[in-house]
């Protein structure tokens, strides 16, 4: 196996994030399921945007957030996601490149606008997402650069990407290329609602070896195996993938393979502000640790550190150097 050009390459929905604080009443008025992610059309996107309060805007998307976290930890990062050659698309591309991420996906010249996600954050820090995929759903196998995939130690795939048919094909193509190059492939389940839509297909991806590593939170794991018995679900997970990583909010995470289960505590925080990006940044820390051949416990600690940083402010991207933060806490990276 040749040495890697990138430590982690992520593939996902390139989405421009629009954050606003709100209350439970707003969610109820607009028929939103608190804590979930709903796919919306352009008309509903405009209606929500008009009704939202003052907003913070930045480039986003689940896998993109993870990859920015990877770069912040000082690792070599690349991203594949579809934008349109429009104003928001140009902002998106500039933003992710400025974060130190290689981003070479060709922008679409026609079709839907660059995707946007309208994220409502309630006082308890919970986030409710309404996503217009737009150009993101136009990602196709033609956007998968074989050389870049083969040169990446770990390829990280976003569960949300499993919605559009063309993106599914891109997803599978990337996995095939990675495995031919003896690289590892990871999948994040993204959302319990996403798991509900594609449970059988996700299980097939796990059991047929399309993916090697699975990231999930407790609710996603429960949805995947249709059980609230955490230990039973974890047992199934250990049989279905080479490595399973399950986040448990303030309880930390559990890392499980066929040989052992390792529990890693959460990193203490001063104040919970916004849970958006917690799982994304946890994955960033864990993946960097894995690319550095650290132990599962050390990987979990890096994930916990990155997640703790991002939940203490609005937005799904780190506001400080995660590498410097890791150094401060005595963590190898």
Q: What is the mean pLDDT of residues 195-200?
A: 95
| pLDDT bracket for residue 56 (50, 70, 90) | confident
Q: At residue 111, does pLDDT exceed 90?
A: yes
Query: What is the distance, to the nearest Å, from the Cα of residue 188 to the centroid of all Cα atoms in its chain?
Result: 6
Contacts of 190 (CB under 8 A, 6+ apart): 37, 62, 158, 159, 160, 220
| pLDDT bracket for residue 2 (50, 70, 90) | low
134 close to 114: Cβ distance less than 8 angstroms = yes
- pLDDT at site 57: 84
Q: Looking at the chain, how many residues does it have?
A: 333
- Residue 31, by phi and psi: left (phi above 0), alpha (psi -120 to 50) or beta? left
- pLDDT at site 164: 81
| pLDDT bracket for residue 209 (50, 70, 90) | very high
SS (H, E, C) the chain: CCCCCEEEEEECCCEEEEEEECCHHHHHHCCCCCCCEEECCHHHHHHHHHHCCCCEEEEECHHHHHHHHHHHCCCCEEEECCCECCHHHHHHHHHHHHCCEEECCCCECCCCCCEEEEEEECCCCCEEEEEECHHHHHCCHHHCCHHHHHCEEEEEEEHHHHCCHHHHHHHHHHHHHHHHCCCEEEEECCCHHHHHHHHHHHHHHHHCCCCCEEEEEHHHHHHHHCCCCHHHHHHHHHHHCCEEEEECHHHCEEEECCCCEEEECCCCCCCCCCCCCHHHHHHHHHHHHHHCCCCHHHHHHHHHHHHHHHCCCCCCCCCCCHHHHHHHCCCCC
Q: What does DSSP say about strands 6-11 and 152-158: parallel, antiparallel, or unpaired?
A: parallel
In angstroms, the CA 12 to CA 161 distance is 6
Copy the structure tokens of residue 8: 């982690």
Rounded percentage of the chain residues whose pLDDT exceeds 90: 82
| pLDDT bracket for residue 3 (50, 70, 90) | confident
Write down the mean pLDDT value for the chain: 94
- pLDDT at site 221: 97
Global pTM? 0.91
Q: What does DSSP say about strands 261-264 and 253-256: parallel, antiparallel, or unpaired?
A: antiparallel
Q: pLDDT: is 26 or 2 the higher one?
A: 26
We find that the CATH architecture of domain 6-13+61-114+134-328 is 3-Layer(aba) Sandwich (3.40)
Q: What is the mean pLDDT of residues 251-272?
A: 96
Q: At residue 1, does pLDDT exceed 60?
A: no
In angstroms, the CA 49 to CA 111 distance is 21
- pLDDT at site 274: 85
Annotated domain spans of the chain: 6-13+61-114+134-328
Q: What is the pLDDT of residues 226-258, one digit of tens each?
A: 999 999 999 999 999 999 999 999 999 999 999
Q: What is the pLDDT of residues 114-157, one digit of tens each?
A: 999 999 999 998 889 999 989 998 999 999 999 999 999 999 99
């Amino acid at each position: 196996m040749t040495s890697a050009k990138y430590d982690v390459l992520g593939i996902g929905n390139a989405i421009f994030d629009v954050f606003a604080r709100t209350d439970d009443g707003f969610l109820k008025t607009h028929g939103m399921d608190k804590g979930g992610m709903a796919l919306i059309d352009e008309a509903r996107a405009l209606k929500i945007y008009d009704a939202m309060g003052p907003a913070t805007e930045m480039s986003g998307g689940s896998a993109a957030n993870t990859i920015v976290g990877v770069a912040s930890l000082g690792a070599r990062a690349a991203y594949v996601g579809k934008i349109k050659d429009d104003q928001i698309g140009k902002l998106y591309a500039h933003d992710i490149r400025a974060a130190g991420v290689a981003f070479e996906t060709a922008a679409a010249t026609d079709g839907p606008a660059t995707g946007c996600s309208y994220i409502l954050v309630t006082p308890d820090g919970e986030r409710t997402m309404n996503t217009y995929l737009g150009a993101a759903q136009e990602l196709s196998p033609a956007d998968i650069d074989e050389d870049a995939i083969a040169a990446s130690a770990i390829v990280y795939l976003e569960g949300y990407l499993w919605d559009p048919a063309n993106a599914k094909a891109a997803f599978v193509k990337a996995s095939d290329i990675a495995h031919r190059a003896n690289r590892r492939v990871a999948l994040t389940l993204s959302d319990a609602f996403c798991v509900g839509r594609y449970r059988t297909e996700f299980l097939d991806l796990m059991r047929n070896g399309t993916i090697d590593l699975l990231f999930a939170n407790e609710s996603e794991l429960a949805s995947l195996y249709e059980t609230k018995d955490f230990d039973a679900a974890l047992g199934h997970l250990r049989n279905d993938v080479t490595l399973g990583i399950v986040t448990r909010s303030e309880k930390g995470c559990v890392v499980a393979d066929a040989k052992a289960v390792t529990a890693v505590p959460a990193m203490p925080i001063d104040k919970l502000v916004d849970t958006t990006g917690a799982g994304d940044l946890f994955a960033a820390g864990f993946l960097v640790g894995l690319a550095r051949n650290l132990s599962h416990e050390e990987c979990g600690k890096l994930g916990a550190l990155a997640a703790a940083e991002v939940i203490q402010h609005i937005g799904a991207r780190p506001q400080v150097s995660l590498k410097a933060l890791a150094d401060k806490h005595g963590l190898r990276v």
